[in-house]
Amino acid sequence: MSSTVRLLNRLLVLHHRSFPQYLAEAGLWRAPGKLDDETEQAFRAIVLDHKSTARRAAAVIVAAGGTVDAGSFPMEYTDKNDLALDYLVGEVIESERRTAAAIERILQSLTIDASAARETAEEALGAAKAHIETLEGLANKQPA
């Protein structure tokens, strides 16, 4: 397997098995009235972006002749099932920060000739940074 395909699989797992994806699949943030509209919209945007990035990374992997490895959710996510949703906003911010840092490492490792992979990772990094900014703004609006 080429190093580009390994890096793209890492990008795919970061998004397909992200903490926001886990929360969405487990239905933990969808309870009516649990989140204000802005926060719910922000979570939905993150989940949609993560799904889109995972699909795009998978397409680039296949186009490069590689095999897609979607991974699995980390077990430590289940430790957060009973946490309050307002607390989970902070957890999602930290998760997105870790994701952004991992994407930056992926970008540093990608070769210049891996243009489709680089473009996918750069867009994912931009989205992660935008999501962090949005969530931090929402968290700052929450009463202490």
Structure tokens, 74: 């980390």
Total structural domains in the chain? 1
Per residue in 71-96, pLDDT (tens digit) is 999 999 988 887 777 788 889 999 99
Average pLDDT rounded to a whole number, residues 92-108: 96
Helix spans in 1-144 (H):
3-16, 19-26, 37-63, 85-109, 115-141
**Residue 63, domain CATH:** 1.20.1260.10
Segments forming the whole domain that contains residue 110: 3-141
pTM of the model: 0.88
Burial class (CB in 10 A: 0-12, 13-18, 19+), 84: exposed
Nearest Cα to Cα of residue 121 among 141, 137, 100: 100
State the pLDDT at residue 16: 97
How many Cβ atoms are within 10 Å of 116's Cβ, its own excluded? Answer: 16
